[in-house]
Amino acid sequence: MKIRKAVIPAAGLGTRFLPVTKVQPKEMLPIIDVPTIQHVVEEVVEAGIKEILIITGRGKQAIEDHFDKNPELEDLLKQKGKTAELNEVCRINDLADIFYVRQKEPLGLGHAVLCAKNFIGQEPFAVLLGDDLVYSEVPVIGQLIRVYEEKKGTVLGCQRVGIENIQKYGAVEADDYSGKVVRVRSLVEKPEPAKAKSDLAVLGRYVIEPDIFKILEETPPGAGAEIQLTDALNTLAARQPVWAYEFAGRRYDVGDRLGFLEATIDYSLRRADLAPGLTAYLKTLDI
């Protein structure tokens, strides 16, 4: 079945970026002049998906406003002859059909995905976490969709992070790690490096069968007293094939201060209008 819908959980409190996230949604923090969540939405659109559900929470109205029309701004830009800016604002308005559901309590990623049940129905669907930004020639979620179409089962987007860093992530345990696509035996959330079976980490991109919703409804709270998507995926993997795919692309954890800075610098160096000046400035630094 074709993947027609995507879910972007965006209800987190952004505590790693306090105090700015006290009133500003972390998903609206810009990589230069483009909000992080817009990069994620554009990845979805580039992969051919036009129906997107964003799971929001209290104080996240700025996300909805960003993708909505702003007649006053558009009229002002038109009057001032700012054609390029007007075209960009209008382009954002028409990126996709975007819907919103509020997660009323911070009960975990699994609960956030469960909030999408009525929107998804009985279709396989994509999930993209807003904290994970990936620069790649082929949209990462599009890469996962291709694997899904081949394997006809849930696919987890993964990369190798080094065994010394695996305790930050959900780690894949498999019987065979020799290919770019491996069948998942189980997932271990944030294992100690000495006990980890591999450094293959799940990194914020998924294509999931709709069976996950029934499992999430029956999954008790786990770590942090939250409903963990990892726990539900483990149950799913015990019932049907779940695949880990080592995707191509440069991934940034933009929910982390250092990762956010790395993304900002790298994206700036990829822009023709900023790269020369930034490069010249970086060369003046005594590092």
CATH number for the domain formed by residue range(s) 5-284:
3.90.550.10
Q: How confident is the model at residue 177 (pLDDT cuts 50, 70, 90)?
A: confident
Residue that wins the pLDDT comparison between 35 and 59: 35
> How much is the pLDDT for 142?
97
Average pLDDT, the chain: 94
Amino acid at 273: D
- Tokens 């079976």 belong to 197
pTM > 0.75: yes
CB crowding 158-175: b at 16 or more within 10 Å, else e? bbebeeeebbebbbbbbe
> How much is the pLDDT for 201?
95
> How much is the pLDDT for 8?
98
For the segment 94-144, what is each residue's pLDDT rounded down to a tens digit? 999 999 999 988 889 999 999 999 999 999 999 999 889 999 999 999 999
Q: How confident is the model at residue 14 (pLDDT cuts 50, 70, 90)?
A: confident
Run of H or E including 222: none
For the segment 230-252, what is each residue's pLDDT rounded down to a tens digit? 999 999 999 999 999 999 999 99
